[in-house]
Structure 1
Amino acid sequence: MTSSDLWDEDTAEGYDDISAERFAPRVLDPAVDFLARLAGSGPALEFAIGTGRVAIPLAARGIPVTGIELSQPMADRLRRKVPAERLPVVIGDMATTTVPGQFSLVYVVWNSIGNLRTQDEQVQCFRNAARHLSPGGRFVIELEVPAVRRFPPGQSAVPFEVTDRHVGFDTYDMVTQQATSHHYRRLDDGSVRYGYCNFRYIWPAECDLMARLAGLVLEQRVADWAGAPFTSDSESHVSVWRKPLDAAAQG
């Protein structure tokens, strides 16, 4: 069992459309460039591969990519774009599901590690990444820094987008680190559709401790895929942990 929300057929069907900005070259290309540099000749493994937004262009660079995805409907959308022999996907959760072989790169993007809503599962995710890495391989995550600095006393919600088409805000429980992203989208017919997803937020220092428990060492932390310096004002981070060359086999 996993604590993650399971994305259903309706959510999967509209995912690429509502995430269109994330497919834009100015957003996607720096991520693919960053991951390709770390992967070298590969192979690479993506946790929560979704519909293949990152994996497909990474594979187009000649890097063999495998994916793990919890939602069968999301994986079905990916399969419409690329055949299994070019980009295999295993259905399962990223905390415990394994695939054959070792990888030079394991990665999880766009806050997806937060879909695991318990600390134990998130720790297991780091260990699962380490289990799949060859010595010297890297585990990469892209993750928001929790926006709790923006809370005045008594407030529990922070907006992240307010436009005429979409209003999105996160609500946080700062005792349990549980949070929910709320989305109100205006459709072409003028109606409004509500959707939400639950997540557990993680601080960068907490990520580092999880990595240490998995036998990984922090190699790099930047604010974004373009490599901007990570500072106390950064709202996101891309972090890279390395499996030591002399690491014992992960069990």
Structure 2
Amino acid sequence: MVLALEADVAKVHAARSAADLVQSGMIVGLGSGSTASLLVKRLGERVAQEGLEFIGVPTSVTTAEQARELNIPLRGVDDVPSVDLNIDGADEIDPQYRMIKGRGGALLREKIVACAAKRRVTIVSPEKIVERLGAESPVPVEVSRLGHRHVERRLQKLGAETSLRRTAEGMLFVTDGGNLIIDCRFSTLADPESLEAGLKSVVGVFETGLFLGLCDLLVVGRADGAEQIVTHARRWTGCA
């Protein structure tokens, strides 16, 4: 219970630190998930209290609904020339700043917006930092509903232990884009770059939850504040 409370406090500190990076006139990618929700909440407070003026580009329907309730103006990613700053969380991040994302199912939109951004900020609490990706979190893979069983078998041939994601009620989990998620666990994930290429080579795979070279600034929340780490991560070639 104490550890859970500390993690919640750390998330708040990370979100508030990242929210302070947003300046009036910016176009800002708004991530999805529990930590990103705290970010959007803080940005809404700044809009109300400071008169902060910016345009948000949401990465999920849930984020868009929250932002609208907080009077944050929104645009779609196709309606802006570029994104000045993208801020999102991560399920796991390793020492090379490679990430697994997509526990909430918004990975395709999250990666599209991240690639459209000039600067990418990742906000996490300390338990999200791991020595090796995949130690705790599976790699989500967004796939076509049509032929998804065939896609799943091909993913298994790549070494994945697969699980078709379902809701708490047992229904198929459907993304905002109308696709399905197959969660993939691997006995070893020593080479995320090669794995990403292999997964993307499967017909019917739209995107994976491996986010490589997509973190320019890491904000780690802690019980007593937040630390900002400039990563110098090599930009992912898929965004070139």
Q: What TM-score does the superposition give when structure 1 sets the normalisation length?
A: 0.41
The TM-score with structure 2 as length reference comes to 0.43
**Which structure has the highest strand share of the two?**
1
Q: Comparing both chains, which one has the higher relative contact order based on Cα–Cα distances under 8 Å and sequence gaps of 6 or more?
A: 2
